[in-house]
Amino acid sequence: MAARRKDYPTADELRIWRDFIETTEALRSELSSRLQRETSLSPGDYAVLLALREADGRRLRSSDLAARVGWERSRLSHQIGRMERRGLVRREECVTDSRGAEVVLTPEGAEAFRDATLPHLRAVRELFVSPLSPDQLAAAEQITTALRSRLKAPGDA
């Protein structure tokens, strides 16, 4: 029988990994379904609206918005186009750089975000917060911190 290589996960580690992935995907799927059903916003809509809501002047350059939501610029461009057609955001010329554009939260987008926030937060509490004890929540924070620090490339802030 061949010796187990130390650079491969054990059977127990793989089981935990699969459970982690399957659970996070199920959680994401249920949150997404509820958000869409209860508010008519997609998770992408919500992510963009949240980033704009938190930005100074409720506006961001496209490149900055893409970085905040963690998307490629092409994906963001398609998302913004869909949101513009629904009146949630608009693109404006950047006042500080005529070569760029800014994405601006519209009053309709701000209202849609406000209307979606309470149902979304209730779902987060029900599906993620409530099933966990305070110690488990603290452990989840430690786990995500450790994973994120490993995922950051050298030189990332």
Sorted by where each begins, the domain ranges of the chain are: 40-120
Residue-level pLDDT at 154: 56
Residue-level pLDDT at 61: 92
Residue 77 CA to residue 72 CA, distance in Å, equals: 9
3-state secondary structure of 99: coil
According to the CATH classification, is domain 40-120 in 1.10.10.10? yes
Residue 45 CA to residue 95 CA, distance in Å, equals: 25
Q: How far is CA 80 from the centre of its chain?
A: 15
Residue 55: how many other CB atoms lie within 10 Å: 18
Task: Tell me, yes or no, if the pTM score tops 0.85.
Answer: no
Strand ranges of the sheet holding 101-105, from the earlier edge strand across to the other edge: 59-61, 101-105, 89-93
The tens-digit pLDDT sequence of the chain (157 residues) is 455 678 899 999 999 999 999 999 999 999 999 999 999 999 999 999 999 999 999 999 999 999 999 999 899 999 999 999 999 999 998 877 777 789 999 999 999 999 999 999 999 999 999 999 999 999 999 999 999 999 875 555 5
